[in-house]
Amino acid sequence: MEPATRAARLAGLLPGSFDPRLPQIVFLGILLAAGAWLRDFGIAPRQIALTFACGLACQNLCDRMAGRRTRSLRSAIITSLGVTLLLRAASWWIHPIAVTAAIASKFLFQWRGKHLFNPANFGVLLALLLLPGTWISAGQWGQDVAFAGWIVGMGSIVTRSARRGDISWTFLGLYVGTLAARVWWLGQRWAVLLHQLSNGSLLLFAFFMISDPRTIPNDWRGRAAHAGLVCAIGFIWQFYFYRNNGLLWALLIAAPAVALWDALWPAPAFQWTSEGGADNASAQHISVAGDRDPDRDYGFGPAAAGGRVLRLLRG
């Protein structure tokens, strides 16, 4: 490759040379720094350090066990940031356990090369369900950091090249519209809606969780349907059953429906390439792990083993 060409690719001037995970890392890092500096998120530096150390170590170990020839730690960094931003715990050892479970879930629960669950969502909810002294404090953000979070989140969708931002906008349109309709129906002040939108978990969910290209439907129609399903489940969970963290649980509950949407509206599956994100059709099925068969499962857990058994039975 010519030096000028190489320099242009590094600068992100040529198509396909920009990895959308890089701005995600920057934006999530900004949110973490702003929250810790301006709002005292209540997470100790050693908790952050241990979270990242365990997340990166687990990713490296799982890559080796899965036999991946090319490895990347970018997704593990994003997952570690997500767990650090969302989860609060009374004990320092809970965050490392949560992020380890999050990273491992990518390899344990797969179907046709896709993650069944969003890793950060899985790790946080597992900690809330099984580990004592854990919670999510949406109110810790405050309106100033939350406002900055909206700007950062929207900017991440605009700048990233993964071509999966449509699900974020669809979800936000549906969910904010539903909240506004509820406020109007109950005759509440519109300040109530503003307060509901100043929710840190909503920001992270809309911009960095539901839009994860490895856990959402491949076709835009499937993504629209999935956004509607998650919105409906989350609204019912939050305002009918009056339970906390409705959107996070909705994403987990709706995860198996992705296979249904992909069956109804088949489309090329998303794959991370060594230079960012692209559809299989344009990436020629080359992902971070090298050449892959789109129908082959590269995990080592029960879901991956089940997929291999089914393929053997089909002959």
Q: Domains plus CATH for the chain?
A: 18-310 (1.10.3430)
Query: pLDDT confidence of 203, banded at 50, 70, 90?
Result: confident
Per-residue pLDDT of 149-182, as tens digits, reads 666 666 666 545 556 678 888 998 999 999 999 9
**What's the pLDDT score for residue 273?**
58
- Amino acid, res. 98: A
CB burial string 124-149: b at 16+ within 10 A, e below: bbbbbeebeebebebeebeeebbebb
Decide if pLDDT at 39 tops 90: no
- Label residue 23 by pLDDT band (50, 70, 90): confident
Q: In the structure encoding, which two tokens stand for residue 21, read together?
A: 């995970």
Other beta carbons less than 10 A from residue 23's beta carbon: 18
Sequential DSSP letters for 239-301 = HTS--S-HHHHHHHHHTTHHHHHHHHS--PPEEEETTEEEEHHHHTTEETTEE--TT-----S
Segment 277-292, tens digit of pLDDT = 544 444 333 333 333 4
- pTM for the whole structure: 0.77
Q: Exposure of 201 by Cβ count < 10 A (0-12 exposed, 13-18 middle, 19+ buried)?
A: buried
- Mean pLDDT of the region 15-36: 72
Model confidence at 315: pLDDT above 50: no
Query: 104: closest CA among 61, 44, 72?
Result: 61
